[in-house]
């Protein structure tokens, strides 16, 4: 209970801070999030440089292809704008060859022993040197123009961050149609998931990063807070629709129709996102 109260105080503190007009370093934060806050205050006016953060748990089957595509996007940006990109893979307590594949693809690898997707994202941000943070999941294929397109969107100083349209390509037709409905609904509701999200480093710090008390939906929550921050400060988020990223459908491919209906239901996610139990498939018997 005391731990819960502490986490609640932490969240309130971040909320108060991101809603105030002048920046105060947040109090009572966990170590990672406190260091994050301090790190990025100074990057507010720096010229744009990009750090891509890939949280990864036992991703040996997917991460090689993800990083190949990311390296292509990195080269494209370098060619078109002369802008270099840092790629960081956060090995979240993995036991397979994810880290060595990442190293041989030229990425920087950071280890994090506490299994939590939000924490892996925050640890990556803490180790990043770029002024713009781009979060990409380890099972997501990105188009060559991705980083260039994001850097173009962020030329607009009023844009604090955003996300990229995400499209699933499962084999089952009903699943394809179902996921397409959620995609359209998400767009109408102004929601965005974490397959690819981005944020200015200083704003990320003001929001205290991803909420580590959540085991699921931390990405949708972050985007919601980013939007709220933008609204309060008369700024905006940029949702990029002209290109799409493609996550794997590994979980959906194994699930029954009913299971899919329950586990993708936003209400179910909101009710249980702070409990680890319902998310065994993410934190114990993991589909890979």
Ligand X SMILES: Nc1nc2c(ncn2[C@@H]2O[C@H](COP(=O)(O)OP(=O)(O)O)[C@@H](O)[C@H]2O)c(=O)[nH]1
Cβ–Cβ under 8 Å, residues 107 and 128: no
120: contact with ligand X by CB under 6 A: yes
Contact between 221 and ligand X by CB under 6 A: the answer reads no
Tell me phi and psi for residue 129, to 5 degrees: -110, -5
Question: Buried b / exposed e across 142-173, counting CB within 10 Å, b at 16+?
Answer: bbbbbbbbbbebbeeeebbbbbbbbebebeee
Residues 13-32 that bind ligand X (CB under 6 A): none
Q: In angstroms, rounded to a whole number, what is the distance separating the alpha carbons of residues 117 and 129?
A: 20
Pairing relation of β-strands 85-92 and 50-56?
Answer: parallel
Could you tell me which of 144, 155, 132 has the C-alpha nearest to residue 49? Answer: 132
Closer residue to ligand X (CB): 17 or 59: 59
Judged by beta carbon distances under 5 to 8 A according to partner kind, the member of Mg ion, ligand X, none in contact with residue 57 is ligand X
Q: Which of 59, 91, 112, 139 binds Mg ion (CB under 5 A)?
A: 139
Query: Directed axis angle between helix 218-232 and helix 117-126, to 10°?
Result: 50
Q: For ligand X, which is the closer residue by CB, 110 or 153?
A: 110
Q: CB 89 → ligand X: shortest distance, Å?
A: 9
Q: Which of residues 119-138 bind Mg ion (CB under 5 A)?
A: 137
**Residue 26 or residue 55: which is nearer to ligand X going by CB?**
55
91 interacts with Mg ion by CB under 5 A: no
Q: Is 117 in the site for ligand X (CB under 6 A)?
A: yes
Contact residues toward ligand X (CB under 6 A) are 55-57, 59, 92, 115, 117, 120, 137-139, 247, 251, 282-283, 286
């Amino acid at each position: 209970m005391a731990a819960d109260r502490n986490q609640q105080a932490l969240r309130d503190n971040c909320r108060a801070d991101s809603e105030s007009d002048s920046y105060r370093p947040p109090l009572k934060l966990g170590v990672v999030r406190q260091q994050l806050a301090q790190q990025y205050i100074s990057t507010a006016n720096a010229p744009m440089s990009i750090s891509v953060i890939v949280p990864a748990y036992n991703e040996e089957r997917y991460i090689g292809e993800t990083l190949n595509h990311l390296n292509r996007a990195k080269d494209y940006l370098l060619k078109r704008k002369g802008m270099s990109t840092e790629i960081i893979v956060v090995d979240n307590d993995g036991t397979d060859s994810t880290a060595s594949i990442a190293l041989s693809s030229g990425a920087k690898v950071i280890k994090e022993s506490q299994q939590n997707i939000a924490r892996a994202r925050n640890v990556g941000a803490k180790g990043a040197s770029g002024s713009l943070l781009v979060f990409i999941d380890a099972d997501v294929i990105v188009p060559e123009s991705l980083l260039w397109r994001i850097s173009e969107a962020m030329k607009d100083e009023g844009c604090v961050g955003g996300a990229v349209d995400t499209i699933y390509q499962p084999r089952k037709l009903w699943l394809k149609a179902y996921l397409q409905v959620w995609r359209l609904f998400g767009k109408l509701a102004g929601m965005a998931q974490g397959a690819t999200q981005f944020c200015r480093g200083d704003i990320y710090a003001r929001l205290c990063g991803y909420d580590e008390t959540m085991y699921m939906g931390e990405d949708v929550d972050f985007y919601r807070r980013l939007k709220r921050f933008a609204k309060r400060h008369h700024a905006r988020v940029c949702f990029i629709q002209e290109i799409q990223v493609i996550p794997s459908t590994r979980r959906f491919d194994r699930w029954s129709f009913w299971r899919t209906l329950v586990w993708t239901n936003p209400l179910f996610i909101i009710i249980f996102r702070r409990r680890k139990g319902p998310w065994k498939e993410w934190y114990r018997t993991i589909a890979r």
